[in-house]
Amino acid sequence: MASELCKTISVATLEKHKNLFLNYRNLHHFPLELLKDEGLQYLERLYMKRNSLTTLEDNC
């Protein structure tokens, strides 16, 4: 699952997606890969419906 998430984020970065759908992935932590560099500078909407996030890391 982690490699699938990384692949999804990498594709979104390379293809300059405006929307990123991370719904229904049973995520427990916010993917910090979304904050690295400026690769997702084109991102306008992040969808994370039905995950298991409870808190955000301090460095978010």
Report the alpha-carbon distance of residue 9 to residue 17 in Å, rounded.
Answer: 10
Which residues lie closer than 8 Å to 23 by C-beta, 6 or more apart?
A: 47, 48, 49, 50, 51
Confidence at residue 59, expressed as pLDDT on a 0 to 100 scale: 65
In a domain, 57, yes or no: no
Indicate the helix (H) or strand (E) that contains 12: helix 2-14
Report the alpha-carbon distance of residue 12 to residue 36 in Å, rounded.
Answer: 13
In a domain, 52, yes or no: no
Q: How confident is the model at residue 55 (pLDDT cuts 50, 70, 90)?
A: confident
In a domain, 21, yes or no: yes
**Which of 4, 41, 40, 42 is closest to 22 using CA atoms?**
4
Report how many domains make up the chain. Answer: 1
In a domain, 54, yes or no: no
In a domain, 38, yes or no: yes
- A 10 A CB-CB count for 17 gives 17
56, pLDDT greater than 90:
no
Confidence at residue 57, expressed as pLDDT on a 0 to 100 scale: 76
Question: What domain range includes position 17?
Answer: 2-47
